[in-house]
Amino acid sequence: MLDTTAALVGAEAERELIASLPASFRWGVATSAYQIEGAVDEDGRGPSIWDTYCRVPGAIDGGDIGDVACDHYHRMPEDVALMRELDIDTYRFSVAWPRVQPGGKGPVNPAGMAFYDRLVDELLGAGIDPWLTLYHWDLPQELEDAGGWPVRDTAYRFADYAMLVFDRLGDRVRCWTTLNEPWCSAMLGYHIGRQAPGRQDFSAAIHAAHHLLLGHGLGTRRIREAASRPVELGITLNTGHVLPATDSEADRDAARRADGLGVRIWLDPLTRGRYPADVLDDLAARGVHIPVQDGDLDIIATPFDVLGVNYYFASYVSGVDSAGNRFDAAGLPVERSVTTGRPVTAMNWEIVPEGFTDLLVRLSRDYPGIPLVVTENGAAFEDVPDENGSIDDEQRIAYLSAHIAAVAKARQDGADIRGYFVWTLMDNFEWAYGFAKRFGLIRVDYETQERTPKSSALWFRNLIRGVRGDA
């Protein structure tokens, strides 16, 4: 059952834990290019796999598309001013590859790169550290047409793109993350098919996973070699935290398999230069092999400085179907998600702050020596503006308080955690869920593009000031 940390008892326990965080702790918010920028046909930007996927009938709830989104491309200075009012010290954003290098290869698009030049200068002017993610899922469509992440060449295209961005922004940006959530890019994009490009081919997904890791390693090496000033290089993973529904052997083996594809297929190559033997066995049983070539694992294991951790919920898995069978009709081992009756967010994700503590402690224990930063944590709830347009999002405040306290608990239990970024600054395009799901500290009226800070924005600012001793 759940390897529980002592459950936090009430707001007072949370406040005490949060107060234990050091004044040096980093506080930020996170977004991504396709979810907020809009301006998809402007200044030479080329199409991404999300521009294509949004036009697949039924792919996105409500038929929403990201063509305008939060119109951040035209409203960036206003949005940075909102960040400054939050008193954050770090802003995690992503660069849209198709805006900077439209076909995914060849020379930089000057107008597209100029946007990020302006953004970085605006942030530095506001006293906010840019935390740059090179790839947050918006692969140039031309590269997908050439095979996408399942083909090896894409890894090399990514490294070339990374250098284009570094050459332009490396003089001012210190924190570089290669990839956001490669599990989503590989598994949701090429196996489950619930994200762009929407393919359903498990073998292709595993090939994509390897080439994403290879691209990370190539990009990390090249930036490190090119850097003439200190850089902080990293990768962001949504490892998940999967627990067996019961202590049965079937459930424990299902959790092992899920942990293998969620955590260890990523962190073992990144930190130990090898894929886990049990994962290789699981894949071989499905007739799938990882396309490793000589030297790949050394490249993938290029040392990095920080691990970004995205956490939203813990999940529970059973190794038997409702009839008690351990294998499905295709002869594959059963991995059935089960619910535990905990409260859920608007995404129907169970709220499990103690799972966050357990995950962070585990990552620090199993992969020691790599500082952790929470690069995403947050929640969608049904925000209902009152007659004045204000939003008293108490559920989001309760979620954030419990999870920041869980981070503090993990630090007390030995995890080396250096910062926490809320997902997300403002409501935005929530991928296959469209605009219906709102995660923001700031509400966006998509008709008028008006931004309205929710109560959680003020709460987060006051929390930051309190921990820093600025209150």
Quick one: 238 or 315, whose CB is closer to ligand GCO?
A: 238
Q: Which residue, 152, 88, 93, is CA-closest to 120?
A: 93
Query: Rounded to the nearest whole angstrom, what is the least distance from the CB of residue 180 to ligand GCO in the complex?
Result: 5
d(CA 202, CA 290): 11
Annotated active-site residue in 14, 144, 376, 430: 376
Which stretch, 12-20, 59-67, 177-185, 449-457, contacts ligand GCO (CB under 6 A)? 177-185
Q: Which residue, 239, 238, 243, 237, is CA-closest to 4?
A: 243
Q: Which of 5, 101, 141, 310 binds ligand GCO (CB under 6 A)?
A: 310
Detail the DSSP E strand segments found in 35-164: 90-94, 129-135
Annotated active-site residue in 14, 181, 350, 430: 181
d(CA 150, CA 14): 44
Q: Which of 141, 178, 238, 302 binds ligand GCO (CB under 6 A)?
A: 238
Q: Is 101 an interacting residue with respect to ligand GCO (CB under 6 A)?
A: no
Cα 10-12-13 angle, rounded to 5 deg: 75
Residues 71, 449 contacting (CB under 8 angstroms): yes
Handedness of CA 267, 273, 275, 278 (dihedral sign): negative
Q: Is 430 an interacting residue with respect to ligand GCO (CB under 6 A)?
A: yes
Q: Is 239 an interacting residue with respect to ligand GCO (CB under 6 A)?
A: no
Residues 219, 166 contacting (CB under 8 angstroms): no
Q: Is 439 an interacting residue with respect to ligand GCO (CB under 6 A)?
A: yes
Query: Rounded to the nearest whole angstrom, what is the least distance from the CB of residue 21 to ligand GCO in the complex?
Result: 23
Quick one: 275 or 420, whose CB is closer to ligand GCO?
A: 420
- Long-range contacts from 457-460, C-beta under 8 angstroms, 24+ separation: 457/86, 459/397, 459/400, 460/27, 460/86, 460/400, 460/422
Quick one: 358 or 376, whose CB is closer to ligand GCO?
A: 376
Active site residue 350: no
What residues numbered 349-388 form the site for ligand GCO, per CB under 6 A?
Answer: 376
Active site residue 181: yes
324: CB partners within 8 A, 6+ apart: none
Query: Rounded to the nearest whole angstrom, what is the least distance from the CB of residue 236 to ligand GCO in the complex?
Result: 8
Q: Which of 14, 64, 71, 181 binds ligand GCO (CB under 6 A)?
A: 181
* 342, two tokens: 């905990």
Matching residue, tokens 């620090």: 364
Query: Rounded to the nearest whole angstrom, what is the least distance from the CB of residue 70 to ligand GCO in the complex?
Result: 13
Site string for ligand GCO, 410-429 (x = CB under 6 A): -------------x------
> How many CB atoms within 10 Å of residue 185?
26
Query: Rounded to the nearest whole angstrom, what is the least distance from the CB of residue 132 to ligand GCO in the complex?
Result: 14
Q: Name the residues that contact ligand GCO, by CB under 6 A.
A: 32, 35, 180-181, 184, 238, 310, 376, 423, 430, 439
Annotated catalytic residues are: 181, 376
